[in-house]
């Protein structure tokens, strides 16, 4: 197999792994953002300060992971940005991947008509990936998360601030104009992009629902939702 194709497959596999890790982090974090019953229980148990600190660490850790998956420019680090650069305007690579797609899916399409349908399917998915990737990479959330990562997470940028006693303060995340919920929308877009890459580069499918089910059980057990439900029934 062509060395470039093998490297591309490894990068797609890595992007899937990184996206799954980010999704796992989000599923664990989600109750901390939205579950009022959990918030009430934490308040009753007197754990609000530590709970909010943990939520802060997890949330901004997730933001950093999403920024890296989307926008990392290091040549050794797989990202949607670098993957899109490789796939865009590269007719030779596209043709190689198309032939590989037809070969690996030949049981789905026999004869010339079947091969033609497979080629059309491949090119539809390839073009769809490029269109979706460009849209996501130019989105406000990706740009905002990258700014926060560069100014506050990977670095500690000080800026002039009228309201600070020293005249300077760290970057204010409010300037990025992001909100809770943007991370979920971005993950959903990443999921579709990874699916497209799995199809056009590795020629495989992946069951996200099974993965989500496993991660949700882990989060539910940690946050004691079953126990919480029983306690509410008893009251």
Residue 231 has pLDDT above 60, yes or no: no
Cα angle vertex 135, ends 133, 189, to 5°?
60
Lowest model confidence (mean pLDDT) among 137-146, 158-167, 168-177:
168-177
pLDDT at 235: 36
Question: Which tokens belong to 105?
Answer: 């899916």
Which alpha helices (DSSP H) does the chain contain, by range? Answer: 3-34, 36-44, 48-71, 80-87, 91-104, 111-137, 140-148, 182-197, 208-222, 225-234
The mean pLDDT value for 177-190 works out to 86
Is the predicted pLDDT of residue 193 greater than 90, yes or no? yes
Nearest to 196 by CA among 66, 4, 16: 16
What's the mean per-residue pLDDT of the chain?
85
Lowest mean pLDDT segment, chosen from 101-110, 112-121, 127-136, 145-154: 145-154
pLDDT digits (tens, 9 = 90+) for 16-37: 999 999 999 999 999 998 899 9
Q: Which residue has the tokens 């996501």?
A: 136
pTM: 0.84
């Amino acid at each position: 197999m062509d060395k470039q194709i093998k490297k591309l497959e490894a990068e797609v596999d890595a992007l899937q792994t990184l996206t799954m890790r980010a999704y796992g982090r989000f599923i664990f974090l989600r109750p901390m953002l939205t579950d009022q019953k959990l918030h009430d229980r934490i308040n009753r148990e007197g754990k609000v300060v530590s709970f909010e600190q943990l939520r802060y660490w997890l949330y901004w850790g997730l933001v950093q992971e999403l920024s890296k998956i989307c926008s990392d420019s290091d040549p050794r680090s797989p990202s949607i940005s670098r993957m899109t650069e490789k796939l865009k305007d590269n007719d030779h690579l596209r043709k190689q991947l198309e032939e590989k797609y037809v070969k690996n899916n030949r049981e789905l399409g026999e004869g010339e008509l079947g091969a033609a349908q497979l080629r059309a399917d491949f090119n539809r998915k390839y073009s769809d990936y490029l269109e979706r990737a460009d849209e996501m990479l130019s989105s406000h959330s990706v740009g905002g998360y990258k700014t926060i990562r560069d100014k506050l997470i990977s670095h500690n940028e000080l800026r002039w601030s009228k309201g600070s006693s020293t005249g300077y303060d760290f970057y204010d995340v409010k300037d990025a104009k992001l909100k809770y919920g943007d991370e979920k929308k971005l993950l959903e877009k990443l999921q579709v992009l990874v699916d497209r890459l799995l199809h056009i580069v590795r020629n495989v499918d992946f069951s996200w629902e099974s993965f989500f089910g496993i991660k949700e059980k882990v989060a539910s057990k940690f946050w004691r939702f079953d126990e919480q439900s029983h306690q509410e029934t008893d009251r």
